[in-house]
Amino acid sequence: MNPFTPLPGIHPEPAPTSPTPSRTPCSPSPDPQLVAAVRERITAGFYVPGSRLTLPELRDATGCDAEALRPALDQLATTGTVEAVNGRWRVMDDRPAGHSARRAAQLLGAVICQGGYPPDAGLPGRRELTRILLAPAADVTQALALLADQRVLYFSGTSQPRITNPPSGRRPTVWRERMYAIARKHPTRPRHSAPFNRPDIHAARDAAINRWRQGTCLPDKDMTRQERRQGEALERLASNACDRAVRQLPHEHPGLRQAAVRVLACWDLPTEDVPLHERLYRSTVLATALADLADEIAAPSRAPQYPRR
């Protein structure tokens, strides 16, 4: 028998082997061109400050997959361009503190000063104000406080804020005059009973709100095209609103007046020399006001309420 042959049932011990060095997984290095492309989209204003950056949207915009986008976003987080929280990335919000509240106060103040609400009238509830001003409840509360400091409105106990009486000699802009001017801007179009499509206006409003919630802006040329379409919708609605107001007493259409003045105030917001996200805000609040104006035009007339003698 071979002395080196193991006996039956006895297994030889394995020869000692050197331990295998452990390998630590390393993340892929970011692509400098991809980092520059994402940074350019952020600095160009394609995203609302503070909005979340999603991989599907960036994949469609850059053509790169998620495996390449993650290290690029992590690289931007180290430079302060984006903020990484719990595996999610958000655009840094470098706007001054209280920007949203001041913007809401500016828009609501324009509606009040142009006669959207009569003196001593109460404003809508906070939930309705958050909808029409496109601002969180905390910013709406701060905006109301700013307008109260400017003596545009006042608080009466715990009730809703009310409109103050304007100083003598200050005449608010009459909304029907402005609507007539818009309707007469294109004399080739019919002024009375001009057609408008409520479902399309509602669909445009919903699309604008969804885009605002996503925080992604359109390119400049697409934003300009959308603003032009909103102008055409306003021209179609202007003659209808004026015709409806002429056929009713002033106290019969407070909702029509409020919606029309909101449309005019939103329309007056600037579109030049402002970031894309501010134009997106204007487009969204204007889309909401246009849809409300279309609903007020189509609403059935109420019974006349003549004042008592």
- Mean model confidence pLDDT for the chain: 82
Round the CA-based radius of gyration of the chain to a whole number and report it.
Answer: 30
pLDDT, mean of residues 135-164:
89
> What would the 3-class secondary structure string for 120-189 be?
CCECCCHHHHHHHHCCCHHHHHHHHHHHHHCCCEECCCCCCCEECCCCCCCCCCCHHHHHHHHHCCCCCC
**How far apart are alpha carbons 245 and 143 in whole angstroms?**
31
> At residue 3, does pLDDT exceed 60?
no
Share of the chain above pLDDT 70, in %: 79
> In whole angstroms, what is the distance from residue 212 CA to residue 144 CA?
23
* 3-state DSSP assignment of residue 57: helix
Average pLDDT, integer, range 209-213:
94
Q: What's the pLDDT tens digit per position in 27-86?
A: 567 788 888 888 988 888 889 998 898 888 888 888 888 888 888 888 888 888 888 887
Q: How far apart are CA 92 and CA 90, in angstroms?
A: 6
Beta strands 88-91; 82-85: pairing state: antiparallel
Question: In terms of pLDDT, which residue wins out, 208 or 185?
Answer: 208
Please, which pLDDT band fits residue 196 given cuts at 50, 70 and 90?
Answer: low
Q: What percentage of residues in the chain have a pLDDT greater than 90?
A: 34
Residues recorded for the chain: 309
Instruction: Express each pLDDT in 240-294 by its tens digit.
Output: 888 777 666 555 578 888 999 999 999 999 999 999 999 999 999 999 999 999 9
